[in-house]
Amino acid sequence: MNRKIVVLRWGHRPERDKRISTHVALIARAFGADGIIFSDVIDQRLKEKIDDVVRRWGGDFFVEMGKSWRQVIHEWKKKGGKIVHLTMYGENIEGSDVLDRIKKAEGDILVVVGAEKVPPEMYRLADFNVAIGNQPHSECAALAVFLDRYFGGKELLREFKNAKVRIIPCRAGKKVIRIG
């Protein structure tokens, strides 16, 4: 199935969350998402950092900022997309059939990860509230595990178009080549 998967980073606080939000974006890109939306804020420095990674390491990953999270979700649902909210209170990805139901559902997927406590409304708006374990953990871990489970590990072997640098896997040491 050729569907778009985009991450919605809810609640990014530039003065506090820049490092974690950068990690969320890097994970989204490396683990197969098509892009990331940072809702309710514009953090130009963060966008420039992520765009620079895409320029050097390749791919078509996009970054959007500034729309309200409600607007993003409303527009997503209006186009027939599904909302997957990653929360430790949701259906456990291992102990339920939630991943199968997500894969069978029609439409593109918007994966919501919060930076701060999300409002109760998010649980009602989401088509799927998914837990990567029901214990406190990082949104970075939750996103990585969800995308890896969704793609079955195949995203880890993907070649990124238009890359200027590439890592050559090796048992010891580091080998990075420059392309173009």
What CATH code is carried by the domain that includes residue 94? Answer: 3.40.1280.10
pLDDT of residue 12: 66
Q: What is the pTM of this model?
A: 0.94
pLDDT of residue 11: 77
pLDDT of residue 14: 65
* Number of domains present in the structure of the chain: 1
In which residue ranges of the chain is pLDDT below 50?
none
pLDDT, tens digit (0-9, with 9 covering 90-100), for 30-70: 999 999 999 988 889 999 999 999 999 999 999 999 999 99
Domain that holds residue 111: 5-178
pLDDT of residue 115: 78
pLDDT of residue 65: 95
Task: State the amino acid at position 137 in one-letter form.
Answer: H
pLDDT of residue 13: 67
